[in-house]
């Protein structure tokens, strides 16, 4: 079989990433096996590994498509001059994105299940770089708002970059509650019960938590 030119290789790589993204959006991350991705593109399963060293590498690149979209949403929200309003809008946009694209939420949490060094060892340097660029594009918007708010005296955050990472990770965890859709409580001693949790309620909690963090002078321990 003739070797693909670099342009054809990149085109096929993009085709595979978009096919994976479509399956993620339609079925969720758990129901997007490599076999289905290959079928969607019309190639044999084994040919995928000519473009990606592992399933994780393909999934990481798919996450970067979500991050690129989210970064644009955050930049638009951050255009508001008032830092408080900007943080409210950014957090609302972020939480809403997690609700609209549960596969993004699932993928992001899945990536957090392993140490960064371990993930870096199973993906190529270029894929690792692209993931970092996608994350940094989003986090820099949040850090900029925290930095601006602290300079103006409405926030009190010693390290805006650290703070942005806290808010990012915190929102993922909180929005997972919306993904589950239920909470647990004790109805009586030893008797658990479930109660419904609405996405709008969880999104509002993300916003209030972000503002409380920004205003509370949280610092690196």
CATH architecture of 1-51: Orthogonal Bundle (1.10)
Query: According to the CATH classification, is domain 56-215 in 1.10.357.10?
Result: yes
* Percent with pLDDT over 70 in the chain: 83
- Contacts of residues 153-159 at CB distance under 8 Å and 24 or more positions apart, as own/partner, are 154/83, 154/84, 154/215, 155/83, 155/87, 155/214, 155/215, 156/214, 156/215, 156/216, 156/217, 157/213, 157/214, 157/217, 157/218, 157/219, 158/217, 158/218, 158/219, 158/220, 159/219, 159/220
Secondary structure class of 26 (helix, strand, coil): helix
φ, ψ dihedrals at 58, nearest 5°: -65, -40
Distance in angstroms (rounded) separating the CA atoms of residues 44 and 111: 27
Task: Please tell me the distance from the alpha carbon of residue 136 to that of residue 139, in angstroms, as a whole number.
Answer: 5
Bridge partners (DSSP) listed for residue 184 = 194
Write the burial class of residue 173 (CB in 10 Å: 0-12 exposed, 13-18 middle, 19+ buried): exposed
Judge whether 1-51 and 56-215 match in fold.
no
Q: What was the pLDDT predicted at 52?
A: 73
pLDDT at 123 over 60: yes
Residue 221 binned pLDDT confidence (cut-offs 50, 70, 90) = very low
pLDDT in tens, 143-160: 999 999 999 999 999 999
Domain residue spans of the chain: 1-51, 56-215
Residue 153 backbone class (left: φ over 0; alpha: ψ -120 to 50; beta: rest): left
The Cα 17–Cα 139 span in angstroms is: 23
pLDDT at 122: 82
Evaluate if residue 220 carries a pLDDT over 50.
no
Question: How is residue 132 written in tokens?
Answer: 């970092």
How much is the mean pLDDT over the chain?
Answer: 86
The residue among 5 and 182 whose pLDDT is bigger is 182
């Amino acid at each position: 079989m003739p070797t693909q030119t670099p342009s054809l290789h990149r085109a096929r790589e993009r085709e595979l990433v978009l096919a994976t993204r479509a399956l993620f959006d339609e079925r969720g991350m758990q129901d997007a096996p490599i076999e289905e991705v290959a079928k969607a593109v019309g190639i044999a399963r084994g040919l995928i590994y000519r473009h990606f060293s592992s399933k994780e590498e393909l999934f990481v690149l798919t996450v970067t498509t979500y991050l690129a979209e989210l970064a644009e949403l955050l930049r638009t929200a951050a255009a508001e001059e008032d830092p408080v309003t900007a943080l409210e809008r950014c957090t609302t946009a972020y939480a809403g994105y997690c609700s609209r694209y549960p596969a993004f939420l699932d993928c992001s949490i899945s990536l957090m299940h392993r140490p960064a060094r371990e993930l870096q060892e199973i993906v190529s340097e270029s894929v690792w770089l692209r993931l970092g660029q996608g994350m940094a594009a989003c986090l820099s918007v949040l850090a900029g708002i925290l930095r601006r708010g602290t300079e103006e005296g409405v926030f009190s955050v010693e390290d805006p970059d650290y703070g942005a990472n806290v808010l990012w990770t915190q929102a993922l965890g909180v929005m997972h509650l919306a993904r589950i859709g239920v909470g647990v409580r004790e109805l009586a001693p030893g008797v658990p019960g479930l109660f419904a949790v609405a996405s709008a309620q969880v999104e509002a909690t993300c916003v209030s938590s972000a503002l409380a963090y920004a205003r509370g002078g949280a610092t690196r321990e």
